[in-house]
Amino acid sequence: MDARPLNHDQFFDYMIEVEHSDLTAAADTEQNFEICTPPAGSHALFVGHKTITQFADASDGAFTASDISIGIAADVDKFLNGTDINAGGTPVDYSGPTACTADYEFDGDTAVVLNFGGDTSALTSGKALANLDSGKVRAFVKILRAEDI
pLDDT in tens, 43-53: 999 999 999 99
* Cβ 112 vs Cβ 55: under 8 Å: no
pTM of the model: 0.90
Which amino acid type is present at position 113? V
**Which pLDDT value is given to residue 148?**
80
List 8's β-bridge partners, or say none.
Answer: none
pLDDT in tens, 78-109: 999 888 999 988 889 999 888 888 789 999 99
3-state SS record for the chain? CEEEECCCCCCCCEEEEEEHHHCCCCECCCEEEEEECCCCCCEEEEEEEEEEEEEECCCCCCCCCEEEEEEECCEEEEEEEEEECECCCCCCCEEEEEECCCCCECCCCCCEEEEECCCCCCECCCCEHHHCCEEEEEEEEEEECHHHC
Rounded-to-integer distance, Cα 37 and Cα 5, Å: 11
